[in-house]
Amino acid sequence: MTDTGTTGRWAPSPTGDLHLGNLRTALLAWLFARSAGGRFLWRFEDLDGAVRPKFYDSQLRDLAALGLDWDGEPARQSDRLDLYRDAIGDLRRRGLTYECFCTRKEIAEAAAAPHGPSPEGAYPGTCRHLAHAELERRRTEGRPPALRLRSGTDGSVPAEETVIDRQLGAHSGIVDDFVLQRGDGTPAYNLAVVVDDAAQGVNQVVRGDDLLPSTPRQVHLARLLGLDAPSHAHVPLVLSPEGRRLAKRDGAVTFADRLSLGETPLDIVNLLLSSAGLDPVATLDGLAETAQRFDPATLPRQPWVYEPPAIQP
Ligand code: GLU
């Protein structure tokens, strides 16, 4: 049965080879979408300075080799700058933005100050109330400002938003005056992701739970822009035995590393399925049946702790 109502997506940054944690999240996002008979889109989040062109193709190749598929051509955020500029222009005209001249260091110092006004990690609102003359002076100093959202009623009291996560339940988090556009003019992740999900008709977001803290900001921004926020399901990351997020230095974690150990794509898929408490498949085509039986409620809520073998010389 095809449900034309669900559209999921996978939105990696082409900044490196996908590792087991990314591959696992991609597989789960695919299962969520396909189990609902829905569409599954690929979007490259390539506004980051660390993008390397070779990873567009290698990421597509690796996921295809695991038996995953997607609908239509992969989109690239770098092709969609006009959409983000329009959204920023809209907020700007409505007086919902302001220029911020703070350096990272200044923000860290203000946040660390004793009796600081802001909860941990929130922008303390330093530039929100710059007097006109001060603003003019900063503008001529030559450091191009970032653009921030004017979120709550007062910079020192960030707004709060509650999201209902499909896996984790209700999650409340702050909505501070987060960056919409960086000083170099690049749209920020939180802005681009909201604009794209809505423009692409995405209504189901499945991603790593490291992005849960950003979700209240994104839901808040969608509302300000008059857009429907998608549903969210955050899945636990893969951790090393020391409790760190799995990384390349931990051993054989990329698709190519695993092949060099003598594993097949089927072995890799079955490792990922077993990590999620799902039955192995006999062939990659069997994933279609896994999708039909997939029930998100059975997924583990705990991180997958995994010690990869050493990379073969
Ligand atoms: N581009 C983000 C990443 O690679 C994912 C963003 C998202 O899924 O919203 O971590």
| Higher-pLDDT residue of 113, 205 | 205
Residue range 214-225: mean pLDDT, rounded: 95
| Active-site residue (options: 152, 248, 263, 284) | 248
Residue 271: CB atoms within 10 A of its CB come to 17
The protein residue with its alpha carbon nearest to ligand 1, atom 6, reads: 11
Distance of CA 154 from the midpoint of ligand 1 (Å): 30
Residue range 184-192: mean pLDDT, rounded: 96
Which atom number of ligand 1 is nearest to the Cα of residue 214? 9
Residue range 132-139: mean pLDDT, rounded: 93
Q: Tens digits of per-residue pLDDT, 87-127?
A: 999 999 999 999 999 988 888 777 666 555 556 678 888 89
- CA–CA separation, 295 and 289 (whole Å): 12
Q: Which two tokens stand for residue 10?
A: 């996978």
Distances (CA, A) of 110 to 20, 103, 104, 177: 37, 11, 10, 14
Name the least confident of 36-40, 110-114, 163-167, 231-235: 110-114
Which atom number of ligand 1 is nearest to the Cα of residue 207? 8
Q: Which CATH architecture has domain 82-192?
A: Alpha-Beta Complex (3.90)
Residue 3, pLDDT above cutoff 60 = no
pLDDT at 123: 87
- CA–CA separation, 97 and 102 (whole Å): 15
Task: Say which amino acid occupies 45.
Answer: E
pLDDT at 58: 97
The separation between CA 110 and the C-alpha centre of its own chain, rounded to angstroms, equals 27
CB-CB contact of 180 with 207 (8 Å)? no
The protein residue with its alpha carbon nearest to ligand 1, atom 10, reads: 12
Does residue 207 line the site of ligand 1, with CB under 6 A?
yes
Name the least confident of 139-153, 183-197, 221-235, 274-288: 139-153
Does residue 43 line the site of ligand 1, with CB under 6 A?
no
Distance of CA 190 from the midpoint of ligand 1 (Å): 10
Residue range 142-169: mean pLDDT, rounded: 86
The protein residue with its alpha carbon nearest to ligand 1, atom 2, reads: 12
* Neighbour-count burial for 175-196, b at 16+ CB within 10 Å, e otherwise: bbbbbbbbbeebbbbbbbbbbb
Q: Tens digits of per-residue pLDDT, 30-55?
A: 999 999 999 999 999 999 889 999 99
Does residue 196 line the site of ligand 1, with CB under 6 A?
no
pLDDT at 111: 67
| Higher-pLDDT residue of 113, 225 | 225
Tell me the H-state helices in 142-214: 189-199
What pTM, to 2 d.p., does this model score?
Answer: 0.94
1 confidence band (pLDDT: 50, 70, 90): very low
Domains 7-79+236-305 and 82-192 share a fold: no
* Neighbour-count burial for 216-255, b at 16+ CB within 10 Å, e otherwise: bbbbbbbebbebebbbbbbbbbbbbeeeeebeeebbbbbb
For the question of residue 248 being annotated catalytic, the response is yes
Does residue 8 line the site of ligand 1, with CB under 6 A?
no
Distance of CA 282 from the midpoint of ligand 1 (Å): 31
Residue range 264-286: mean pLDDT, rounded: 98
| Higher-pLDDT residue of 83, 176 | 83
311 confidence band (pLDDT: 50, 70, 90): confident
* Strand duo 204-208 + 231-235: pairing: parallel
The single residue listed with the structure tokens 């770098």 is 78
Could you tell which of 13, 19, 44, 80 is best to mutate to test the pocket of ligand 1, judged by most ligand atoms within 8 Å of the CB? 13
Percent of the chain at pLDDT exceeding 90:
83
Q: Which two tokens stand for residue 302?
A: 């705990």
Taking each helix axis from N to C end, the angle separating 81-93 and 189-199, rounded to the nearest 10 degrees, works out to 110
Order of strands across the sheet with 39-44?
A: 75-76, 39-44, 7-10, 204-208, 231-235, 159-165, 169-175
Name the least confident of 34-43, 100-109, 244-253, 283-292: 100-109
Name the least confident of 5-14, 83-92, 123-132: 123-132
Domain ranges of the chain: 7-79+236-305, 82-192
CB-CB contact of 159 with 228 (8 Å)? no
- For all residues of the chain together, what is the average pLDDT? 92
pLDDT at 150: 93
Residue range 128-155: mean pLDDT, rounded: 88
| Higher-pLDDT residue of 313, 303 | 303
Fold for the domain defined by 7-79+236-305? Rossmann fold (3.40.50)
Does residue 68 line the site of ligand 1, with CB under 6 A?
no
- CA–CA separation, 70 and 52 (whole Å): 22
CB-CB contact of 32 with 294 (8 Å)? yes
- CA–CA separation, 155 and 240 (whole Å): 38
Distances (CA, A) of 26 to 30, 46, 151: 6, 17, 32
Does residue 237 line the site of ligand 1, with CB under 6 A?
no
Residue 264: CB atoms within 10 A of its CB come to 12
